[in-house]
Amino acid sequence: MNVANSEGYTTADGRKIGGVLMEMKNITLRFGGVKAITDISFDIREGEIRAIIGPNGAGKSSMLNVISGFYVPQEGEVWFKGYKRGPMKPYQVARLGIARTFQNIALFDGMSVLDNIMTGRLTMMKSGLLSQALWWGGAQREETEHREKVEKIIDFLEIQPIRKTPVGRLPYGLKKRVELARALAAEPKLLLLDEPMAGMNVEEKEDMSRFILDVNDEFGTTIALIEHDMGVVMDLSDRVVVMDYGKKIGDGTPDEVRNNQDVIDAYLGVAHD
């Protein structure tokens, strides 16, 4: 882990990675007597693609939920943009610039694709109730402004033909893409992806990987993702945290992690003698 000093580092493909954006310090999360996460520390740097991997039940999703403010850890500190983050409601975390997608898609089924993506910008829309009710001046101007931004994201993710379709009617792969669009619409500093490729075929995985890389490249968004497909993780991410039974067992570049004996043991099992 000596690659990551406080000034950042340069990746193998030549991208500059900045300073620490988010730091988790000694996080412990308990549900009653069950320890989901035990004393885990790691950091996420600006502009980086950071993966969290581990076998089922390792506590990856719990970790993501801690980052997005859904769970409040019993011990440990969460630092974001150099400030310690107190206990916050999820909607307050969203306003800090952290957006996420869910493992089992959490879109608003009754709304159109366009409306779903527009909800991503709700935190930025400021017009008052009266102005909206009269649909005059501020509200309409604001709507148009944000619509333009949203249309850019729609173009970016190539979902133009379905923008007026209710989300409930879409196939799985497209729903995943719309969910990514909604998260992107918030222009997040940090984007959390919980298994973005779960249940996809090879072609859809390739598409999604391309979008993730493009997002990182074009918008400079920092991305933290959980994924089970090792090929994808090793190809996409700059650094990887490996968890097992709520503990951190490895942290480093994909190559370092691949050769880490603890990680190999956790994935392949180890003879108990």
Nearer to another protein among residue 57 and residue 90 (C-beta): 90
The interface mask with another protein, positions 90-109, x = CB under 8 A, is xx--xx---xx-x---xxxx
Phi, psi of 223 (to 5 degrees): -125, 130
Stretch that binds another protein, among 15-23, 30-38, 112-120, 242-250 (CB under 8 A): 112-120
Question: Under the criterion CB under 8 A, does residue 140 sit at the interface with another protein?
Answer: yes
Map the footprint of another protein across residues 54-73, applying CB under 8 A: 68, 70
Q: Which of 135, 199, 217, 231 binds another protein (CB under 8 A)?
A: 135
Nearer to another protein among residue 109 and residue 217 (C-beta): 109
Nearer to another protein among residue 28 and residue 119 (C-beta): 119
Nearer to another protein among residue 164 and residue 272 (C-beta): 164
Nearer to another protein among residue 146 and residue 239 (C-beta): 146
CB of 136 to another protein, least distance (A): 9
Nearer to another protein among residue 101 and residue 209 (C-beta): 101
CB of 185 to another protein, least distance (A): 9
Phi, psi of 7 (to 5 degrees): -85, -10
CB neighbours (10 Å) of residue 17? 20
The interface mask with another protein, positions 181-220, x = CB under 8 A, is -xx--x----------------------------------
- Residues in contact with another protein by CB under 8 A are 68, 70, 89-91, 94-95, 99-100, 102, 106-111, 115, 118-120, 122-123, 125, 127, 129, 132-135, 139-140, 142-144, 147-148, 151, 182-183, 186
